[in-house]
């Protein structure tokens, strides 16, 4: 039977309880499988194609057809490497990768008869929770930093009828609050990425990438609370166990420079992080100073032989604009961090000329429409047809 497992201290328990954190050391729990319990029996499309490696009953799934996101070959911005692919997780039902984890976590919530679900969020988890809770017919509560969530994400949470609880502080405070709530109450199921069922759903991105292009040399991914990089590495390792890949790709975890405690720990070879008390970046989705899954992120990146790097806001904006204007892929700033990290690493020769690279972009550009105000603008107002002609010819 699949079991809860603590990667830090080895604690293990059955899945017949609602656990998130290790009762011994406090780290977020993982779900592990014995040999024979992981089966590569894949059919259909999207997250539920991989139900033979998921710990919930697919017949009871709460789904909006998540996963099966497009993987594009870069035409213009990946010339420095053999091939650059862009996995566009912004094409999920609510416009972010969170839906892969949410479909599994909400299915688990329903299996466990919860009537409510809760999360802390910089926006995308909130949007995904709200929409999936409405699909499941249960109540959604989202705790968000007041004034720090992008417009599109708030709109989704509101539209889905979620209870929006604003805190005067940042995401780290909101997460601390919901963690304490979940320790003391079983009234609502916590579906942040500290929930091991979220990680199970999100690992399916690894399965899709490998089924589509085989083994890349590198995968780049933005890192905030560090659940997604944990999930990616878990999926890749399962694929190795299943004999679907021989060599594990290297991971490039990318944080915004102003919110990069894991990068600092990586660079100083430290076994622990120093939380950033006032994280700052325009990439609000990853404006996180005390990531819950930092230990698993550091371990994943180190095991893979990859790296953690920090990127400036300036480069994030450039990468976002490059991706939309040169490749036709419009993403939100946190997702562009993945591309900014790629550009940095290719230039410094960390990623080499003959490497095949996949950059995961995590959220749709429509989530944060205000972010394009930072781009160079080509807008003109015309009063007449002549002036229209002139405007076009003069370009
Ligand atoms: N990209 C986007 C668009 C995100 O929304 C997030 C996280 C990340 C990357 C980082 O993923 O936290 O698993 O390392 N957003 C969370 C939220 C924190 O509340 O929506 P991570």
Residues 220-238: pLDDT tens digits? 999 999 999 999 999 999 9
In whole angstroms, what is the distance from residue 249 CA to residue 226 CA? 18
Contact assessment for residue 75 and residue 345, using Cβ atoms and an 8 Å cutoff: no
Q: Is 259 near ligand 1, meaning CB less than 6 Å away?
A: no
H or E element at residue 141: strand 139-145
| Cα(290) to centroid(ligand 1), Å | 13
In whole angstroms, what is the distance from residue 32 CA to residue 164 CA? 34
In whole angstroms, what is the distance from residue 259 CA to residue 67 CA? 28
Instruction: Give the residue, by CA position, lying nearest to ligand 1 atom 9.
Output: 222
In whole angstroms, what is the distance from residue 184 CA to residue 176 CA? 13
Contact assessment for residue 314 and residue 250, using Cβ atoms and an 8 Å cutoff: no
How many folded domains does the chain comprise?
A: 1
| Pocket test residue of 91, 99, 122 for ligand 1, highest count of atoms within 8 A of CB | 122
Closest ligand 1 atom number to CA of residue 127: 20
- Tally of CB atoms within 10 A around 110: 20
Closest ligand 1 atom number to CA of residue 288: 18
Q: Is 226 near ligand 1, meaning CB less than 6 Å away?
A: yes
| Cα(380) to centroid(ligand 1), Å | 36
In whole angstroms, what is the distance from residue 136 CA to residue 61 CA? 9
Please indicate, yes or no, if residue 153 is contained in any of the structural domains.
Answer: no
| Cα(330) to centroid(ligand 1), Å | 17
| Cα(362) to centroid(ligand 1), Å | 8
| Pocket test residue of 203, 228, 263 for ligand 1, highest count of atoms within 8 A of CB | 228
Q: Is 289 near ligand 1, meaning CB less than 6 Å away?
A: no
Q: Is 332 near ligand 1, meaning CB less than 6 Å away?
A: yes
In whole angstroms, what is the distance from residue 391 CA to residue 355 CA? 43
Please indicate, yes or no, if residue 290 is contained in any of the structural domains.
Answer: yes
Give ∠ CA 225-226-230 in degrees, rounded to 5.
150
Closest ligand 1 atom number to CA of residue 227: 13
- The two beta strands, 218-222 and 250-256, are parallel
Burial 334-369 (b: 16+ CB within 10 A, else e): bbbbbbbbbbbbbeeebbeeebbbbbbbbbbbebbe
Instruction: Give the residue, by CA position, lying nearest to ligand 1 atom 15.
Output: 285
Q: Tokens representing 222? A: 């933005």
Q: Is 362 near ligand 1, meaning CB less than 6 Å away?
A: yes
Q: What are the CB-based long-range contacts (under 8 Å, 24+) for 182-186?
A: 182/20, 182/118, 183/21, 186/18
Q: In the prediction, which pLDDT does 394 show?
A: 65
Transcribe 339-371 into DSSP letters.
HHHHHHHHHTTSS-TT-EEEEEE-BBGGG-GGG
In whole angstroms, what is the distance from residue 318 CA to residue 336 CA? 8
pTM flag (> 0.75): yes
Q: Tokens representing 259? A: 């919110």
Please indicate, yes or no, if residue 173 is contained in any of the structural domains.
Answer: no
Q: In the prediction, which pLDDT does 387 show?
A: 87
Closest ligand 1 atom number to CA of residue 225: 12
Q: Is 334 near ligand 1, meaning CB less than 6 Å away?
A: yes
Torsion of CA 273, 281, 141, 99, to 10 degrees: -90
| Pocket test residue of 176, 294, 362, 368 for ligand 1, highest count of atoms within 8 A of CB | 362
Closest ligand 1 atom number to CA of residue 231: 13
In whole angstroms, what is the distance from residue 309 CA to residue 203 CA? 22
Q: Tokens representing 392? A: 């076009």
Q: In the prediction, which pLDDT does 150 show?
A: 97
Q: Domain range spanning residue 300?
A: 71-93+198-374
| Pocket test residue of 157, 222, 234, 251 for ligand 1, highest count of atoms within 8 A of CB | 222
List strands edge to edge, sheet with 116-120.
Answer: 163-167, 139-145, 116-120, 189-190
Q: Which CA distances in Å does 228 have to 126, 200, 252, 261?
A: 16, 10, 12, 16
Please indicate, yes or no, if residue 352 is contained in any of the structural domains.
Answer: yes
Instruction: Compute mean pLDDT per 10 residues along the chain, 395 residues long, and list them.
Output: 97 97 97 94 98 98 98 97 98 98 98 98 98 98 97 98 98 98 94 98 98 98 98 98 97 98 98 98 98 98 98 98 97 98 98 98 98 89 87 73
Please indicate, yes or no, if residue 394 is contained in any of the structural domains.
Answer: no
Please indicate, yes or no, if residue 174 is contained in any of the structural domains.
Answer: no
In whole angstroms, what is the distance from residue 144 CA to residue 174 CA? 6
| Cα(124) to centroid(ligand 1), Å | 7
| Helix 313-327 × helix 333-347 angle, to 10° | 100
Please indicate, yes or no, if residue 219 is contained in any of the structural domains.
Answer: yes
In whole angstroms, what is the distance from residue 45 CA to residue 148 CA? 35
Q: Which residues partner with 352 through β-bridges?
A: none
Contact assessment for residue 164 and residue 138, using Cβ atoms and an 8 Å cutoff: no
Please indicate, yes or no, if residue 42 is contained in any of the structural domains.
Answer: no
Could you tell me the CATH number of the domain that includes residue 345?
3.40.50.1100
């Amino acid at each position: 039977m699949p079991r809860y497992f603590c990667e830090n201290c080895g604690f293990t328990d059955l899945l017949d309880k609602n656990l998130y954190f290790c009762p011994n050391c406090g780290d977020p729990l993982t779900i592990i499988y014995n040999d024979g319990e992981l089966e590569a029996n894949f059919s259909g499309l999207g997250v539920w194609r991989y139900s033979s490696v998921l710990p919930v009953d697919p017949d009871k799934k709460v789904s909006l057809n998540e996963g099966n996101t497009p993987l594009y070959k870069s035409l213009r911005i990946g010339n420095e490497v053999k091939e650059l692919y862009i996995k566009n997780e912004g094409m999920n039902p609510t416009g972010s990768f969170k839906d892969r984890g949410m479909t599994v976590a909400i299915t688990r919530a329903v299996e466990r008869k919860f009537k409510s679900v809760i999360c802390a969020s910089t926006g995308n988890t909130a949007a995904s929770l709200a929409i999936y809770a409405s699909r499941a017919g249960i109540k959604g509560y989202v705790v968000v930093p007041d004034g720090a969530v992008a417009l599109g994400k708030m709109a989704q949470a509101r539209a889905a009828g979620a209870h929006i609880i604003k805190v005067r502080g940042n995401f780290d405070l909101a997460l601390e609050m919901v963690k304490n709530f979940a320790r003391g109450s079983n009234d609502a199921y916590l579906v942040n990425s500290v929930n091991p069922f979220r990680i199970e759903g999100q690992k399916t991105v690894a399965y899709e990438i490998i089924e589509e292009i085989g083994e890349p040399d590198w995968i780049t991914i933005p890192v905030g609370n560090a659940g997604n990089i944990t999930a990616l590495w878990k999926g890749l390792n399962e694929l190795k166990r299943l004999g679907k890949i021989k060599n594990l790709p290297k991971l490039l975890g990318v944080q915004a420079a102003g919110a990069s405690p894991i990068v600092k720990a990586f660079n100083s070879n430290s076994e622990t992080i120093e939380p950033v008390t006032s994280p700052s970046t325009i990439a609000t989705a990853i404006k996180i100073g005390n990531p819950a899954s930092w230990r698993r992120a550091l371990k994943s990146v180190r095991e893979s032989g990859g790296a953690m790097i920090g990127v400036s806001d300036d480069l994030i904006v450039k990468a976002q604009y490059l991706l939309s204007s040169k490749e036709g892929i419009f993403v939100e700033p946190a997702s562009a961090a993945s591309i900014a990290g790629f550009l940095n690493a290719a230039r410094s020769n960390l990623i080499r000329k003959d490497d095949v690279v996949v950059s995961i972009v995590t959220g749709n550009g429509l989530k944060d429409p205000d972010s394009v105000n930072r781009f160079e603008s080509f807008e003109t107002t015309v009063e007449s047809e002549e002036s229209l002609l002139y405007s076009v010819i003069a370009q």
